[in-house]
Amino acid sequence: MNKRYHLTALNAFVDNYIWMLSDYSKQTIIIDPGDSEPVIDCLQQHHIRPQVILLTHHHQDHIGGVSHLFKHYPSLRIYGPLEVCHKLNGIPITPVHHNQSIAIDNNLTFQVIATPGHTLGHVSYYSKPYLFCGDTLFSAGCGRIFEGTSKQMLESLTLLASLDDSTQICCAHEYTVNNLRFAHHVLPEDNLIAKKLEEAKQIRLNKQMTLPSQLSLEKKINIFLRCTDEILQSKLNIYDTLSLFTTLRKLKDNFQ
């Protein structure tokens, strides 16, 4: 991607991030605007023109601001999976599908990647080096499985892990510290996980964000991406990749 683009994350609700990718001409792409207020404030303050909205899935904390934004900016182009189209009746949304290319302009194109698991229709958007992955892949973790299956989620994570190591993980929630706490609980002897946990705690104490993370790092500290790792398999005495992932997800669901 051309370096003409600037990445911004807006805080929303308790721990959501709304991502914006803007170019030198003050046009921007908005990803998962669950709340319109911080988006409109940012647009007006910096004199930015919203061009496109990309939606990853149908949960309200990801789509709640779309209607209000569309009323303010009726020329917006909006893309999302079919599950989003069903939720936002009356809003002109272009449905997307796996491997589709979305050309924003002559310099920016996104690849749509189907990533079911958290929801059945969840998608992610990739334009090197940025991956907007909603609630599928988090730093040091992955999303809860509400509608899909463990097999679907594992396949989605494996697909995302196959992207370039330089990929920037722009997920939708600030869950890094808790995810690293869980990883450290499972693998207390892993020095890198322990180190990154302390770093993430300090970052949050300083009221800064831990994102985006880089895929090359995630492959080392995200145990949900390490289900073929012999050390992790031996630790839990589970040698089947899917069974290991399923067990880890269940353990994380109950981790305090």
- The model's pLDDT over 120-133, given as tens digits with 9 standing for 90+, comes to 999 999 999 999 99
Residue 62 annotated as binding site: yes
Question: What are the E-state strand segments in the chain?
Answer: 6-12, 16-22, 27-31, 49-54, 77-80, 93-95, 101-105, 108-114, 123-127, 130-134, 137-138, 141-142, 168-171, 213-214
| Nearest by Cα to 102 from 143, 70, 72, 132 | 132
Asked whether residue 1 carries a pLDDT value surpassing 60, the answer given is no
Q: Distance (Å, rounded) from C-alpha 128 to C-alpha 130? A: 5
% of residues, the chain, pLDDT over 90: 94
Asked whether residue 2 carries a pLDDT value surpassing 60, the answer given is no
Report if pTM > 0.85. yes
Length of the chain counted residue by residue: 256
Residue 46 annotated as binding site: no
pLDDT of residue 48: 95
In angstroms, what CA-CA distances link 75 with 23, 92, 202? Answer: 18, 10, 42
Residue 173 annotated as binding site: yes
Which helix H or strand E contains 216, and what residues bound it?
helix 215-221
- The model's pLDDT over 194-250, given as tens digits with 9 standing for 90+, comes to 999 999 999 999 999 999 999 999 999 999 999 999 999 999 999 999 999 999 999
Residue 35 annotated as binding site: no
Q: Distance (Å, rounded) from C-alpha 229 to C-alpha 223? A: 9
List the Cα angle 138/140/143 in 5-degree steps: 40
Asked whether residue 3 carries a pLDDT value surpassing 80, the answer given is no
Residue 61 annotated as binding site: yes
Query: What's the whole-number average pLDDT of the chain?
Result: 96
Q: Distance (Å, rounded) from C-alpha 89 to C-alpha 174? A: 30
Q: Which residue, chain included where needed, has tokens 């569309």? A: 70
Residue 118 annotated as binding site: yes
| Domains of the chain with bracketed CATH | 6-175+211-218 (3.60.15.10)
